Structure 1
Amino acid sequence: MVARAQRLPHRSHRRRAPGAGRDVLVLVGLPLLAVLALPAAFAGGGTRRWFGGRAESQRAEAQAAKDDAAAAFYDLDTAQRDLRLSIETIAAVDASPAARRAVTDFEALGRRIDEVSHQYIGAVDAHDLDRDDLEASAASRARGELTAAKNELGRVKQELDRFADGLGPLLGKAETQLARLAPTVERARQALLAASNALDAAREAGLRADDLAARLAALGPELTRLNQGAGQHGVPQTLERAERVTRAAESVRAEAERLPEHAAEIDHRLVSLRTRAQALTTRTEQVEPVLSELRRRFTAACWQDLQQVPDQATESVRQAERKLTEAQTARDEQRWPDATALLSTVRALLNGTDEAVSAAGDRLRQLNAVQKDPQQEIERTRFAIRDAQRLAMAGRNTPDPRHARPLDDAVARLERAITTLEGRHPDYWHFLTETEAVRQTVAGVVTRIREERGAGH
């Protein structure tokens, strides 16, 4: 449209003054009366006034219509070029259905603009408003066609403006992404540089960090794609790639910076777990004397579940020591994940052994206490039952059967447990497990009562 518009320069209304030689020839052939009238005819300096003032008036109106149409043509062309930049921005960033529909609608508007532009150019080419012999009727037709072309240009300009107003959300989103593009890509580059520097520092400290180096090397092709730019790979894809590279590089950097600390932590855990394994070896040797005392003083039901503790503890400690040796090897070879996993296994083995070894000593202490004074355990359990019964009766004349029944059963179970203490060989361990079970049942009733009353409020 711009090129075509440049072929349509504004034409002046100036008239061409006739030459002197031509004037002389005209005078020679005129009668005397006509010659006497000529000074008045030439007073205006031209020949068009022979045709009267109406043609000049129509010419001026047609020229004004032509100027107005040219202005409308220029406004529409400028708006279309500006909007094309917006559409190209949206298309480069947004692949959503709404964005694709905007591109299609703009193309349809472009075809409509071409139609009205051709109408305008045709009207301009069809009428030479600078002709000396332009008739009033021709000027009038020119004015009408040019005015019609201007009106069509204006209507399409309004359609274009409405379309541009509707692009606001899409354009805003696209411009936001474009504004993010450069800083996001730069952050990715800086993250990669920081990761590389952290890896170099770890290596200077004597740590190979081969796995971190491999992860950083895998990001090389991604950096190449970032450097190729969004023009080749698309804005959304480049943004997503830059953010992914940033996260991965920051993870490598953080692990590389923590690597010396992690190595020191593994060294500390190796020493600590080795010391603990040695201590458990000593404690395991003390389990057998405890079992001997249990066998001598109490019935088999009180100690038979502990018979395998010494052998199991010894084997567990032996396994832990083997895993510690493997962990030390993994640490020396800087296989950090393997070393960490092995140390976790050692810890689990030692925890289990610690609990088993402690169980024998705890059993003897509990049995000694209940043998000396079983009444203390009985009163402790009865207090728990009475406390629950008071809570169940609070604010009521009769307890809720759902609460009363398990509490009554707990009372009966306690009485039965007390009877096991009678006779020459009381089963103290059965008594202790029963009283513990009664207290757990009572605690469950108390919890339900409080939950129900809390929900009621």
Structure 2
Amino acid sequence: MTATPAQPNSPSGPRVRRRRTSGSPLGDLTALALLPLVAALALPAAFTGGGTRRWFGGRAENQRAEAQAAKDAAAAAFYELDTAQRDLRISIETITAVDDSPAARRATGDFAAIGQRIDEASHRYIQAVDSHDLDRDDLEASAAARARTELTKAREELERVKKELDRFADGLGPLLGKAETQLARLAPAVERARQALLAASNALDAVRAAGLTADDLAARLAALGPELTRLNQGAGQHGVAGTLERAERVAREAEAIRAEAERLPERAAEIDHRLVSLRTRAEALTTRAGQVEPVLSELRRRFTIACWQDLQHVPEQAAETVRQAERKLAEARAAREAQRWPDATALLSTARALLNSTDEAVSAAGDRLRRLNAVQKDPQQEIDRTRFAIRDAQRLAMAGRNTPDPRHARPLDDSVARLERAIASLEGRHPDYWHFLTETEAVRQTVAGVVGRIREERGATTGH
């Protein structure tokens, strides 16, 4: 039989449809009720697939945290050591730039040796950091523990080297202080040199504006030009010590040039005054030299030849010396006109020395006559003067002693005998008064020498 399809209005059709329809809503509700549980089970897998760490438990995370703390501590130690090394390198460079002593060279070598140990400790630290990735998702507790151990050792090594570096830095105190003192002097010294050169240049300009030449000073100032160039190049090229010495020397020489330039108008006026004064003196000595001959005539007439023979050429010598002085004065005048100041000054000094010698020679004739007249009239005054000197020395030699020191007594006894012989030489018809005067003067000089030795010896004894 052939089955016929159910009619729409038959009881079977609607019942079938109701059964089909009544099953569908129950299935939907069941699916909705099961969805939160499924989703909750699926979430960890979904996050793991997105790159987050797996959950391994509290022990692993604690080891990771401790390793990270060790890494941070090592990084801090590394930073402190690096900073200290860089600061100390600046100190070493400061010392090296200033000081070339054995102590400074030894400090440089010691710093290089410590630098090698720093490099080694730093290398171990970097190697420990690179060997352990603490951010790995699958970091195991044992790996984290190893990382913590190695990083802790690296930190301890960095801290040990840091202490060694600190001790070395403390020992550099004297060398660094000396170097910094010189460096502190450097800039002011260079500035003083520059200012001194500027002042010298301004002084020369003022002198030239007044109509005076200063070629020698200008040449000396120009010679300092290369030195200024070296100063401008700085201590980096020429060294601190060399630059400091150069700056002080340039300042000193420039200051001397400035002082001479500022004094130049006064110097010119002084040279003019000396020219006039020495010319007047030469004229006066010419007149006085003409008066020597009458004095010599009286000496020849009244006294023995021994009293005047050493003076007989004074008139001719005086005239010649005055002529030499006048020639030097003429040369000095020419040098003054040409403004050759050093030459003018030197020539004036020569002329003055010639006139001084002439003055002494001319005065000697008149002084000889005066002294001979005095001793001829009363020789006892000269005798008493000399005896008083001898007795005074004898009292000093005996002070505090029972017997005099032979070193003092002998020359004093000889002086007494020499005075007696000089007195005896006055006897006779034509006594040599000049010999008598020279002898008494020699006796007084001998006695004065003995007195000086006694006082010196006693002063040394008292000092001890």
The equivalent residue for 2:436 is 431
- Code of the residue aligned with 1:427 in structure 2: it is D
The equivalent residue for 1:133 is 138
User: What is the rounded CA distance, in whole Å, between the counterparts of 1:142 and 1:412 in structure 2?
Assistant: 113
- Code of the residue aligned with 2:331 in structure 1: it is E
User: What is the rounded CA distance, in whole Å, between the counterparts of 1:394 and 1:83 in structure 2?
Assistant: 72
1:278 Cα deviation from its structure 2 partner:
0.6
- Code of the residue aligned with 2:170 in structure 1: it is D
Q: How does 1:292-311 map to 2 (within 5 A)?
A: 292-311=297-316
1:47 Cα deviation from its structure 2 partner:
8.5
1:102 paired to 2:107: yes
Aligned length: 420
For residues 263-301 of structure 1, give each alpha carbon's deviation from its aligned partner in whole angstroms, at most 9, with x where no partner exists.
111111111111111111001000001111111112212
Task: Answer yes or no: is the 8 Å Cα contact 2:128–2:147 preserved in 1.
Answer: yes
User: What is the rounded CA distance, in whole Å, between the counterparts of 1:278 and 1:27 in structure 2?
Assistant: 137
Q: Which structure 2 residue ranges, 5 or more long, are not aligned? A: 1-34, 45-51
Distance change (3 Å), C-alpha of 1:234 and 1:446 = closer
1:253 corresponds to which of 251, 255, 258:
258
User: What is the rounded CA distance, in whole Å, between the counterparts of 1:275 and 1:162 in structure 2?
Assistant: 80
User: What is the rounded CA distance, in whole Å, between the counterparts of 2:300 and 2:161 in structure 1?
Assistant: 106
Q: Which structure 1 residue ranges, 5 or more long, are not aligned? A: 1-20, 29-37, 39-45
1:276 paired to 2:281: yes
2:335 corresponds to which of 325, 330, 334:
330
User: What is the rounded CA distance, in whole Å, between the counterparts of 2:145 and 2:309 in structure 1?
Assistant: 124
1:27 Cα deviation from its structure 2 partner:
4.6
User: What is the rounded CA distance, in whole Å, between the counterparts of 2:85 and 2:432 in structure 1?
Assistant: 99
Distance change (3 Å), C-alpha of 1:234 and 1:380 = closer
For residues 359-394 of structure 1, give each alpha carbon's deviation from its aligned partner in whole angstroms, at most 9, with x where no partner exists.
111111112122222233233333333333444444
User: What is the rounded CA distance, in whole Å, between the counterparts of 1:232 and 1:404 in structure 2?
Assistant: 71
Distance change (3 Å), C-alpha of 1:176 and 1:350 = same
1:456 Cα deviation from its structure 2 partner:
4.4
The equivalent residue for 2:193 is 188
- Code of the residue aligned with 2:448 in structure 1: it is A
1:234 paired to 2:230: no
SS at match of 1:266: helix
User: What is the rounded CA distance, in whole Å, between the counterparts of 2:200 and 2:355 in structure 1?
Assistant: 38
The equivalent residue for 2:206 is 201
Distance change (3 Å), C-alpha of 1:418 and 1:65 = closer
Q: How does 1:366-385 map to 2 (within 5 A)?
A: 366-385=371-390
Task: Answer yes or no: is the 8 Å Cα contact 2:132–2:147 preserved in 1.
Answer: yes
User: What is the rounded CA distance, in whole Å, between the counterparts of 1:176 and 1:137 in structure 2?
Assistant: 57
SS at match of 1:128: coil
Task: Answer yes or no: is the 8 Å Cα contact 2:53–2:138 preserved in 1.
Answer: no
User: What is the rounded CA distance, in whole Å, between the counterparts of 1:66 and 1:230 in structure 2?
Assistant: 44
**Mean Cα deviation higher: 134-143 or 98-107:** 98-107
Distance change (3 Å), C-alpha of 1:412 and 1:240 = closer
Task: Answer yes or no: is the 8 Å Cα contact 2:296–2:365 preserved in 1.
Answer: yes
- Code of the residue aligned with 1:436 in structure 2: it is E
For the pair shown, which has the larger CA radius of gyration, 1 or 2?
2
Q: How does 1:11-410 map to 2 (within 5 A)?
A: 24=38, 27=41, 48=54, 51-410=56-415
Distance change (3 Å), C-alpha of 1:129 and 1:251 = same
User: What is the rounded CA distance, in whole Å, between the counterparts of 1:408 and 1:295 in structure 2?
Assistant: 36
SS at match of 2:144: helix
Distance change (3 Å), C-alpha of 1:73 and 1:206 = same
SS at match of 2:138: coil
Distance change (3 Å), C-alpha of 1:123 and 1:272 = same
1:183 Cα deviation from its structure 2 partner:
1.7
For residues 41-63 of structure 1, give each alpha carbon's deviation from its aligned partner in whole angstroms, at most 9, with x where no partner exists.
xxxxx9855x4432232222222
Distance change (3 Å), C-alpha of 1:272 and 1:105 = same
Distance change (3 Å), C-alpha of 1:132 and 1:186 = same
The equivalent residue for 2:452 is 447
The equivalent residue for 1:4 is none
User: What is the rounded CA distance, in whole Å, between the counterparts of 1:235 and 1:456 in structure 2?
Assistant: 51
- Code of the residue aligned with 1:105 in structure 2: it is D
TM-score when normalising by structure 2: 0.83
Identity of aligned residues (%): 84
For residues 10-39 of structure 1, give each alpha carbon's deviation from its aligned partner in whole angstroms, at most 9, with x where no partner exists.
xxxxxxxxxxx9x948959xxxxxxxxx9x
**Mean Cα deviation higher: 75-84 or 218-227:** 75-84
Task: Answer yes or no: is the 8 Å Cα contact 2:59–2:141 preserved in 1.
Answer: yes
1:90 Cα deviation from its structure 2 partner:
2.8
User: What is the rounded CA distance, in whole Å, between the counterparts of 2:403 and 2:68 in structure 1?
Assistant: 108
Task: Answer yes or no: is the 8 Å Cα contact 2:53–2:137 preserved in 1.
Answer: no
1:138 Cα deviation from its structure 2 partner:
1.8
1:319 Cα deviation from its structure 2 partner:
0.7
